[in-house]
Amino acid sequence: MVGLAMSVCKRLYRRAKAWAQRFRPATDRLARQDRGSVAVTTALTLVIVIAMVSLGVEVASLFLKHRQMQSAADNAALAGAMALAASSTSGVTTEAKAVAAQNGFTSGVNSVSVTVNNPPLSGNLVGNAGAVEVLISQPQTLPLAGLTYKGPWTVGARAVATVGNNASSCALELDTSSTTGVQISNGAVVNLNQCGLSANAIGGTAVSVIGGATLNASTVVVSGAVNVSNGGAINVTGSIKTAQPATADPYSSVQIPTSSGCKYGSAGHPLTLAWASSTQTLKPDGVYCGGLVMGNGAQVVMTPGVYIIKGGAFTLGGGITLTGTGVTIVLTGSGSDYANVDIGNGATVTLSAPTTGTTAGLVFFQDPNAPHTETNDFEGGTQLTLTGALYFPSQSVTYSNGTSSSSPCTQLVAWRMVFKGGASFNSNCANTGVGTIGASSSKLVE
């Protein structure tokens, strides 16, 4: 628009100069014949000045109209995105056009055109079903500028907004390359109480519920698609959204605590706690190398702090009782030997994460550098009361044969998830230090 205004100004200047040259002989004669020639020259100059000022007013009006139109497009795109977030696909266009009209641009009135595209047809989000594009245009009449530039004078504006997610999730699958990131089978019942499931996997089976399994959740938000077959069922109180942008990892910025040396155990030789007649106590006062094993029937208390398990596995045998408050278990290592989790049948585990500090909200914190080849197992009959997040950003987590949880706040964030038995997660996480998964507002992006 600035270039167009400059072009018009230049044309008007050349036209005014031509007029001045055309009338110059006459003004010269008047100057010789009449001492009032100064008044004539002044009058001609005033004509040019008035024309330039008028043109400036017209150009300024174009800029004002564009600003008003851009504001209307922004608000309309956000309204469309919020309608889409509310699962009202058919209401996207209606809401966007209604808001554009409230901002002074009613489609079809005074030659105004309002176009709503979901997904967008241009820009960086072409084809993205989670985005809404709004384009507004209107021809303008500029009498003075029309003398030198015949137009058309059309002002336009464009805006794109992405859909927010009002319901937070308590389970998040991270692998964006997987075609099956979440598998629920074998009659498993997975309860996400008042929270949702987010899956960044792609393809037609990004979330697969089969073999008589059931997923109960408030929402399901997936980058790919959902597969329900062979007696599977998904029950949601909100909506199932497919082809969505990947959900952000709320713990991606947390740094693994530094460690050196080995205070307990060594590579290939974990510290092992066997059954004893009294409760045994663990302290976070050094690195546990080669893993940490608690044998069948052991009773163990973990005092508050960050426990670093380097290599091997964090293994809990059947019948063990483990408790701890303000505890983060860090699973790290090097090369191909990174610690993972193996919790056996019948274990009773009650752990809560720190509510403040660098590992706030994290009960299990696996090193993102751990290889994808290993799996973390939570096996059948386990009573897990884990208050905080189970964070396995580069490895799979498997629940088998049924586990129970009475914690008001349990999150699972994993590279991939497999449920062959029941599991339960909850979202009452106030003052626990955990991050929020998936909840976001609709926002302008273009």
The Cα–Cα gap between 63 and 70 comes to 10
End-to-end Cα distance, the chain: 19
- Each domain of the chain, given as residue ranges in start order, spans 2-162, 169-441
Query: Which pLDDT band, with edges at 50, 70 and 90, does 344 fall under?
Result: confident
pTM beyond 0.75: the answer is no
Bigger pLDDT: 308 vs 23: 308
| DSSP secondary structure letters along 105-121 | --TTSTT-EEEEESS-S
Higher pLDDT, 355 or 162: 355
The 10s digit of each residue's pLDDT in 279-310 is 999 999 999 999 999 988 899 999 999 999 99
What are the tokens at 275?
A: 């059954």
The torsion angle over the Cα atoms of residues 126, 127, 133 and 135, rounded to 10 degrees, is: 60
pLDDT for res 221: 92
Cα distances (Å, whole numbers) of residue 329 to 257, 313, 334: 11, 11, 17
- Written as six digits, the tokens of 78 are 């956000």
Largest CA distance in the chain: 128
Q: For 46-84, how does the pLDDT look when each residue is reduced to its tens digit (9 = 90+)?
A: 545 554 545 556 667 778 888 899 999 999 998 888 888
Lowest mean pLDDT among 29-43, 51-65, 265-279, 400-414: 29-43
Please state at what angle helix 37-85 crosses helix 2-33, rounded to 10 degrees.
170
